[in-house]
Amino acid sequence: SQQGEEDPQALSIQEGENATMNCSYKTSINNLQWYRQNSGRGLVHLILIRSNEREKHSGRLRVTLDTSKKSSSLLITASRAADTASYFCATVPRAGNNRKLIWGLGTSLAVNP
Amino acid sequence: DVKVTQSSRYLVKRTGEKVFLECVQDMDHENMFWYRQDPGLGLRLIYFSYDVKMKEKGDIPEGYSVSREKKERFSLILESASTNQTSMYLCASSSSGTGREDTQYFGPGTRLTVL
């Protein structure tokens, strides 16, 4: 099945810096979602952006969506050690079975104290 | 808050054993999913269900079966466990109703080791 692609695969920053992760996808979508996974745990939904939205904020998170380029970015501002996790993007395709999410392979973020 | 629970956090089984992984959600979600997660391969969908007694194959159904007899419970069955099924198994649920937009809620995962 098609998958999104995140880049970078891994990112290491210092506490207080901003972290930016990118996601590209292949087909038209209804929405795009970002999830976080702490080591060895289940995923937690962070934020959803609809195909007719360009930018969305939630606390220290900012998500942008460019449907013409089929890409999204997740910005975490003023990062903390607790933000250390893997971050996944997932899309709900416009066509086909839209109950299934199409997942990227994730970006591993390390925030050093 | 949605709660998705999985029957075990860690499980060790022997090759050839029949293995049952149970998942229960408490938010009346119609959709439930089983994934496996392996390093470098991301989340791969094994099976999903969007109604009681309904199931559909995902991307990697071989060697697995599922059961959904009640709306809140979705079971993954490894008919004859093999070492290549050693993995992290994640259960998720979602609702496709208006406003829900297929956000998935995950359980804590079961790390299965097959010896």
Identify from A45, A100, A103 which residue to disrupt to test chain B contact, counting B C-beta atoms within 10 A and taking the largest count. Answer: A100
Tell me the chain A residues in contact with residue B43 when contact means C-beta distances shorter than 8 Å: 43, 88, 103
- Chain A CA closest to residue B6: A42
The pLDDT assigned to A1 comes to: 35
Give the DSSP per-residue string, A6-62.
EE-SEEEEETTS-EEEEEE-SS-EEEEEEEEE-TTS-EEEEEEEETT-SEEEETTEE
Distance of alpha carbon A86 from alpha carbon B112, whole angstroms: 21
Residue A55 pLDDT greater than 70, yes or no: yes
Q: Do A40 and B111 touch (CB under 8 A)?
A: yes
Percent of chain B with pLDDT over 70: 94
Q: Do B106 and A42 touch (CB under 8 A)?
A: yes
Residue A97 pLDDT greater than 50, yes or no: yes
> In the predicted model, what is the mean pLDDT of residues B10-22?
97
> In the predicted model, what is the mean pLDDT of residues B58-66?
96
As a whole number, the mean pLDDT across chain B is: 93
The pLDDT assigned to B36 comes to: 97
The pLDDT assigned to A2 comes to: 38
Residue A50 pLDDT greater than 50, yes or no: yes
Q: Do A103 and B111 touch (CB under 8 A)?
A: no
Where residue B98 falls among pLDDT bands split at 50, 70, 90?
low
